[in-house]
Amino acid sequence: MPIKADKIVKYVGSLDSMPSRIAKARVVELITDKEPFYLALVRLEKEVANLRRDKESFDLATKKLENEVTELKRKENLAKKLVVDEFKASKEYKEVVEEEVASYFGEGFDLCKKHVSLCFPDLDNEDIQINPDCADGDGDAEVDEDGTAMQDATLPINQLS
């Protein structure tokens, strides 16, 4: 609240000496100079209050958007998982996996044939193919009490001769 110049002038005006008149003039001058600064201070305080209010609004909006981004990321991850699960359940995926497995085991079978031909050079194994009926499993494997398959007691190929 600004100091009213006329109140101070009335107080100082009661003194009639020369120094009091100089002091009175100086007080009036200082008060007059102070008024624009006081008005500027009030204006700046209002602006600071507005900026604080704007900052609070900004912080609230930022928090809301961060929560929304977190929720969208969660939904995106869930959607990705569902798409992958759906694809894994599709016929296309099963066909691709079967082709890859057949290729992998086919290469292993070819390596086995090569090893047999190295161990038994007189044996013609070019006509040997993978039996698709055996691909489902060996029906005559022995099983112990807890239901696990026991290893066949066969000799390695290089110990047959």
| pTM higher than 0.75 | no
Q: In the structure, what pLDDT confidence band is assigned to residue 77 with cuts at 50, 70 and 90?
A: very high
Residue 98 to residue 129: CA distance in whole angstroms:
18
Q: Are 30 and 38 in contact (CB under 8 A)?
A: no
Q: Where are the beta strands (DSSP E) in 57-160?
A: none
Q: Which two tokens stand for residue 146?
A: 């807890």
Q: Which residues contact 9 (CB under 8 A, 6 or more apart)?
A: 24, 27, 28
- Amino acid occupying residue 107: E
Condensed to tens digits (0 to 9), the pLDDT of residues 11-61 reads: 555 555 666 777 777 777 777 778 888 888 999 999 999 999 999 999 999
Q: In the structure, what pLDDT confidence band is assigned to residue 151 with cuts at 50, 70 and 90?
A: low
Condensed to tens digits (0 to 9), the pLDDT of residues 90-106 reads: 998 888 888 888 777 77
Residue 97 to residue 100: CA distance in whole angstroms:
5
